[in-house]
Amino acid sequence: MAEFAGPQLYSCYNCRNHVSLHDDIVSKAFQGRNGRAFLFSHAMNIIVGPKEDRHLMTGLHTVADISCADCHEMLGWKYERAYEASQKYKEGKFILEKSKIVKENYPGARVGHGKTWFNRDALLESMVKLYSIFRIIYIYI
Ligand SMILES: [Zn+2]
């Protein structure tokens, strides 16, 4: 049986603030301002800036820049609204530039720094996932 390695996290490259979970990656094939970028369904410990309309390669979008809640480094943007039907799936999701985040396994380099990945939303999500697993087991028993 495989050893439980803990959740894989992405942190701000500058201050190691935890900003997203590996499980929340929707796509790794996005283009950011500085090269490759990942699309995430959730992000945490970030500040969402004011909304503005931008013409991107895939059409007009309303986006908001996102920055690290700890060190205020700009990390990417949030898609608030997409106007093309084919781009609607991006609404409410987050772009994090690959060059601005670092991947780490928890527990890892951050142990002892006094921070934890258990924010309320992440905890709630894990509980929902656990609940659905137990529900499936229960049905099969
Ligand atoms: Zn930071």
Question: Where does the pLDDT of residue 105 fall: very low under 50, low under 70, confident under 90, or very high at 90 and above?
Answer: confident
Q: Is residue 48 part of a domain?
A: yes
Q: Is residue 51 part of a domain?
A: yes
Q: What is the CATH number of the domain that holds 19?
A: 2.170.150.20
Distance from residue 102's CA to the centre of ligand 1 (Å)? 11
- Answer for the pair 60, 53: CB distance below 8 angstroms, yes or no: yes
If we measure between CA atoms, which residue out of 91, 55, 57, 98 comes closest to residue 75?
98
- Answer for the pair 44, 119: CB distance below 8 angstroms, yes or no: yes
Structural domain harbouring 54: 8-111
Which one-letter amino acid corresponds to residue 76?
G
Q: Is residue 105 part of a domain?
A: yes
Sign of CA dihedral 113, 108, 7, 69: positive
Q: Is residue 92 part of a domain?
A: yes
Number of domains in the chain: 1
For the beta carbon of residue 102, count every other beta carbon within 10 angstroms: 15
Distance from residue 117's CA to the centre of ligand 1 (Å)? 14
Distance from residue 54's CA to the centre of ligand 1 (Å)? 25
Q: Is residue 78 part of a domain?
A: yes
Q: Is residue 126 part of a domain?
A: no
Q: Is 100 helix (H, G, I), strand (E, B) or coil?
A: helix
Distance from residue 136's CA to the centre of ligand 1 (Å)? 39
- Answer for the pair 76, 63: CB distance below 8 angstroms, yes or no: no
Model's pTM, two decimal places? Answer: 0.71
Distance from residue 72's CA to the centre of ligand 1 (Å)? 6
Query: With 60 as the cut, is the pLDDT of residue 137 above it?
Result: no
- On the 0-12 / 13-18 / 19+ scale of CB atoms within 10 A, 61 is buried
Q: Which residues contact 79 (CB under 8 A, 6 or more apart)?
A: 61, 62, 63, 90, 91, 92, 93, 94, 95
Query: With 50 as the cut, is the pLDDT of residue 109 above it?
Result: no
**What are the tens digits of pLDDT across the range 6-27?**
679 999 999 999 999 999 999 9
Distance from residue 46's CA to the centre of ligand 1 (Å)? 9
Distance from residue 129's CA to the centre of ligand 1 (Å)? 28
Q: Is residue 96 part of a domain?
A: yes
Distance from residue 116's CA to the centre of ligand 1 (Å)? 15
Block residue for tokens 């142990």? 111
Q: Is residue 49 part of a domain?
A: yes
Which one-letter amino acid corresponds to residue 111?
V
Over the chain, what is the mean pLDDT?
Answer: 84
**What are the tens digits of pLDDT across the range 59-93?**
999 999 999 999 999 999 999 999 999 999 999 99
